[in-house]
A and B are shown apart, each in its own frame.
Chain A
Amino acid sequence: MNGAREEADRAAIGKKSAEIIVAALFFAVGALVMYDSQRLGSTWGGDGPQPGYFPFYVALIICASSVINIVRALMIRADKDSAFVMRGQLKLVLAVLIPTALYAAAITWIGIYVASILFIGYFMRRLGKYPWWKVVAVSIGTAVVLYLIFEVWFLVPLPKGPLESLLGLD
């Protein structure tokens, strides 16, 4: 018990590493944009800037700022480095983030309604520890309300899957 708590309170990632990773990501995006801007023409033409002019300089500033941000992160001394996220926190965040990603991916196959029912159900059962009848009532109820609002009242078609075609709702 005590060990588990200590485990949860340990830093998963240090702030220094997080700073460097994010700044490096910025740099990569900047470099990518600069590369494509060059292709489009990034000079000041006869009648004003070319299509790539603004993106090029915008990306240049991104790269320059991220270099400064990396350097500043590198200057954080190891003993001054604080935790970016604790293991326990990260576990909670991932416990939501991974299902969310799966949810987004599942929409393609099973449609947004079924995916939403499963997602809300998982969330309530796993994190909220609700009894099954509440889980079923809220998740299916939400899907039905959303169906009524979007498909019936506002005529906005949302992605559907095999279940809806089985029920003849698409």
Chain B
Amino acid sequence: MAEIQSLMHGFGVALTLTNLLLMFTGVTLGVIIGVLPGLGGANGVAILLPLTFSMAQTPGGATSAIILLSCIYWGALFGGAITSILFNIPGEPWSVATTFDGFPLAQNGRAGAALTAAFTSSFFGAFVAVLVITFLSPVIAGFALEFGPPEFFSVYLLTFCAFIGTSKEPAFKTLAAMMLGFALAAVGTDPVTGTLRLTFGSTRLLTGFDFLVAVIGLFGIGEILLTLEEGLAFKGASAKLNLNVVLQTWKELPRYWMTSLRSAAVGCFMGIVPGGATPASFMSYGVARRFSPDGERFGTGKVEGVVAPETAAHAAGTSALLPMITLGVPGSPTAAVLLGGLMIWGLQPGPLLFVEQKDFVWGLIASMYLGNIAGLIVVLTCVPLFAAILRVPFSVIAPIIMVVCAIGAYTVHNAIFDVWMMVVFGILGYLFKKLQYPLAPLVLAIVLGDSAEASFRQAMLVSQGDMRIFFSNTLVGFLTTLALLLLLWPLLSWSLAKIRRTSA
């Protein structure tokens, strides 16, 4: 196996004392970045990019530089889950789906279990993705080339269809909330014609409504307001605080092997396309809810509901590095900065990188294994520490959370206007939650609305307005059909059951 040999060589490159030190530094920084909504993975990587610039010019330095930066990336992937579970505030877009079951778990006093499940699944997802990159990269590197505008649209459609359809909230409220998300996503520059939409001449609306501002407000501030009604305390504060919780959760996790494998597959697929970690987490959560025997009780605090999105997000985040290094197509803003880093250091991402820069590429792949192990160790040992945050009295931690949220909202566009918007979204979040308007479809629409519309209209430009393009080849036809099947699944399973009953 040539791959094993290359990989061993890669470990040789990556396993130096300096590099190991860089790994732990990177992961720790990444976790901090993931926890603070004001610092995205892209921020952290971008800030350290110039530092690595001089590193990259020493022999073997490019590998060290990418190890440092990619470990920040892993750390941020791990860290995003922490605030989602503890405070219902997703630090990163791909942790939104983690809040659905992670936060209820914490409220039930099982924050430690939720954190352990999230971290372990993240690791598992990443591990599967690295295996795929190690052994299958020549086969799948070209797969992304198959994806034109119609294929991308069908992937987004698939995400929506996998996620919606089984909402417990009133149908017309779900519809209204989701459409509001699409409308908010449309504010700003139209991606196809470049004209300004829905800005009403205001320069403040030019940037549109950023996902992070909406989510911090709707979930974070909204949740604090709701909590206030109940009195001044977070529920679940009496969480047990020792490392035993890790072992106990590990005993429970093998039960969800099917969900783990499925989610890892969804994640790898979405990473390689590259569709992104955020849609991957939503899609995986939706699919798990549909096919798990426990699906009905998702959203009330099921460990499986944390496993699904975290596995997929981390698998997608990891496998997204493949199209990045082989095609120069970044799967996320963080990957885009990493990509910029490669170019600044004089490495050209592309099909030849694997051939010309063997040391670098295999060093990077080896560091993915090591970096994720380092990450898992760092975050798991900190589980009791994180869970202990819940013990801080509400009247101390709540204003600090609000301040951190405000900083998070501000840093998105360096605009104080976004802090005001966060407060508005907070009030909306409070009202919606009380009146049973679901927030998840709204957020999904804000995240994907823009890309989905852009790829739909690109496809229409290609086909000159002919809808048949969504069935024009096997790949896109398969994806579109699968999406429609998932959308109609409740109807199908209902009629199947009926047929079975009448024939029996």
Known: A107-B406, A150-B407. A40 touches B422 (CB 8 A): no
Known: A119-B403, A150-B407, A156-B411. A96 touches B416 (CB 8 A): no
Contacts of A49 in B (CB 8 A): 456-457, 460
**20 additional contacts (CB under 8 A) given A48-B457, A51-B190, A156-B411:** A37-B197, A40-B197, A45-B465, A46-B465, A49-B456, A51-B197, A68-B172, A93-B228, A96-B228, A100-B221, A128-B396, A130-B396, A142-B400, A146-B404, A149-B36, A150-B407, A154-B39, A156-B39, A157-B414, A158-B407
A89 to B227, CA, bound (A): 10
A159 at the interface (CB under 8 A from B): yes
A68 to B173, CA, bound (A): 9
Contacts of A157 in B (CB 8 A): 414
A101 to B175, CA, bound (A): 30
- Determine how close the nearest CB of chain A comes to the CB of B408; give it in whole angstroms: 11
A50 to B385, CA, bound (A): 53
A-B contact pairs, 26 of them (CB 8 A): A18-B435, A19-B435, A33-B183, A47-B464, A48-B457, A48-B460, A48-B461, A48-B464, A48-B465, A49-B456, A51-B192, A51-B193, A54-B186, A61-B175, A61-B176, A86-B229, A92-B228, A92-B229, A97-B423, A100-B402, A104-B406, A116-B403, A128-B393, A128-B395, A156-B47, A159-B410
Contacts of A124 in B (CB 8 A): 395-396, 399
Contacts of B457 in A (CB 8 A): 48-49
Contact of A58 among B183, B232, B411 (CB under 8 A): B183
Known: A59-B183, A93-B225. A120 touches B406 (CB 8 A): no
B residues contacting A by CB (< 8 A) are: 32-33, 36, 38-39, 43-44, 47, 170, 172-173, 175-176, 179-180, 182-183, 186, 190, 192-193, 195, 197-198, 200, 221, 224-225, 228-229, 232, 393-396, 398-400, 402-404, 406-407, 410-411, 414, 416, 419-420, 422-423, 426-427, 430-432, 434-435, 437, 453, 456-457, 459-461, 464-465
Contacts of A128 in B (CB 8 A): 232, 393-396
Known: A62-B179, A89-B229, A127-B395. A112 touches B190 (CB 8 A): no
Known: A33-B198, A124-B399, A149-B32. A26 touches B176 (CB 8 A): yes
Contact of A47 among B224, B427, B437, B465 (CB under 8 A): B465
Contact of B420 among A61, A62, A104 (CB under 8 A): A104
Judging by beta carbons under 8 Å apart, are B465 and A65 in contact? no
A118 to B39, CA, bound (A): 23
A124 to B394, CA, bound (A): 9
Chain A's closest residue to B231 (CB) is A92
Most buried by A among B32, B33, B190: B190
A10 to B6, CA, bound (A): 72
- Determine how close the nearest CB of chain A comes to the CB of B38; give it in whole angstroms: 7
- Determine how close the nearest CB of chain B comes to the CB of A39; give it in whole angstroms: 9
- Determine how close the nearest CB of chain A comes to the CB of B96; give it in whole angstroms: 21
Judging by beta carbons under 8 Å apart, are A58 and B179 in contact? yes
A36 at the interface (CB under 8 A from B): yes
Q: How many chain A residues have a CB neighbour from B under 8 Å?
A: 69
Contact of B416 among A62, A107, A127 (CB under 8 A): A107
Judging by beta carbons under 8 Å apart, are B464 and A85 in contact? no
Most buried by A among B47, B170, B186: B186
A33 to B410, CA, bound (A): 26
A86 to B228, CA, bound (A): 12
Interface pairs A-B: 5 shortest CB-CB: A48-B460, A128-B395, A123-B399, A65-B176, A89-B229
A29 at the interface (CB under 8 A from B): yes
- Determine how close the nearest CB of chain B comes to the CB of A20; give it in whole angstroms: 10
Contacts of B411 in A (CB 8 A): 150, 156, 158
A116 to B399, CA, bound (A): 8
Contacts of B430 in A (CB 8 A): 93
Chain B's closest residue to A126 (CB) is B395
Within 8 A of B (CB), among A61-75: 61-62, 65-66, 68-69, 72
Judging by beta carbons under 8 Å apart, are A84 and B180 in contact? no
